Structure formats: C-alpha cells, structure tokens
Amino acid sequence: MIITLSGITGVGKSYFKKQIQEKLGIPIQTIITTREKRNGEIDGVDKKFVTDKEFEELKRKKEIIVTFEMLGYKYGYPTKEMKSDGNSVVELHYPIIYQLKKEVKNTFSIYIIPKDIEIAKQKLKERRLPKKIEKDRLIEIEEHTKNFKTNNDLRKQFDYIFYNDYTEKSVDELINVIKNICAKQDKILY
C-alpha cells in the first residue's frame, strides 16, 4: 500500500513521513525533482535531484509517473515504487491526487490540516529560503488552504483528513490511523 501525505507547506509532511518510517518500518519513497538541492538535503534520501534533460528522459522511459510542476520545477514519482505491492510512504502535492488515484490503485491518501495555520507559516519561515521563494510559498499556503476548504470534490479524493496540532499526540494519532488501516487490509507493516 502506498500511503500519501498531502497538505500545505509547513504542515509536517516530511516530519510525519520520517516518524512513520521510524515507528512502523514503512520505507519512504523518494520523489524525483529538477528543484535545486537545499542546504542539508541529501540526494537520493530527501529527494532525487535531476536535470531537466534527465527528468524528461525518465519520463520518456516511463520510469516516472504522476508528474507535475510547482514553482517552476518538475516533480515525478518512480513508477517501480508506485506500482509495488509493498508498503511505502510518500509526500504528495495535493492537486495531483486525481492523477494518482487513476494510475496507482493501492493507496491510502491522508490530507494533513494544521490546527493553527500560523504555525505552518512559521515552520516555512524557519527554513530560511530565499525571500522570493518564501513569499511565493506563503501565497501558496493561502491559496492551497482556500482551495481545500471550498473544493468538496478535492476533499473527497482523500481517504482521511488529519489535524496536526504539532505535538507528540498528533504523531501517535497518525501512527494509530496507519496501523488500523494496515490491519484492515491485512498488510504487514514492514
């Protein structure tokens, strides 16, 4: 089963992804992107960083699926991992949930909402991104939040909506949700 985590920037997707891996042993999928590597990111661990030419070649060879562009960069998911029968967890840019559901059948999609949007904005600012990128991401947070609140069809695409209050209690709650879903589907967690 592919567990997808979606939500606004700063909501904790990367953090929860790592917690799911550590506490449940579910491997993390690495998205492929043309975005430049940020300080502290590790190629092949945080993301797989490629050139535009390499990205297009992977796409041509059908080694990536569910592709999209965001803030001028291309992103895609590795076909082999997305079509695997094993468990994995991956961050998913929320508007491509429609495309994902068409191409990848064995998914459980979680949309994470911050109980306080100002905390998400603060988390974004702590990344110390270039000012232009930070400004674009803050605008994206507002647009993304409005779209999710007003688009009933979009909300229905997600299997579970989870509220993050940025405490350990939230981590425990999300881990329990995933344990219960895996148990219902008779999925082994490793």
At position 97, the amino acid (one-letter code) is I
For residues 115 and 161, give the distance between their C-alpha atoms in angstroms, rounded to a whole number. Answer: 12
| Domains of the chain, each with CATH number or no CATH | 2-184 (3.40.50.300)
SS3 for the chain is CEEEEEECCCCCHHHHHHHHHHHHCCCECCCEECCCCCCCCCECCCEEECCHHHHHHHHHCCCEEEEEEECCEEEEEEHHHHCCCCCEEEECCHHHHHHHHHHCCCEEEEEEEECCHHHHHHHHHCCCCCHHHHHHHHHHHHHHHHHHHHCHHHHHCCCEEEEECCCHHHHHHHHHHHHHHHHHCCCCCC
Average pLDDT of the residues in 2-27: 93
The pLDDT tens digits for 101-127 are 888 888 999 999 998 889 889 888 888
pLDDT at res. 190: 45
Band (pLDDT 50/70/90 cuts) for residue 186 is: low
Residue 29 has pLDDT above 70, yes or no: yes
pLDDT at res. 188: 54
Residue 86 has pLDDT above 80, yes or no: yes
Distances (CA, A) of 163 to 116, 136, 140, 174: 10, 24, 19, 9
What pTM value is reported for the model?
Answer: 0.86
Residue 94 has pLDDT above 90, yes or no: no
Question: What is the percentage of the chain residues whose pLDDT exceeds 90?
Answer: 49
pLDDT at res. 179: 92
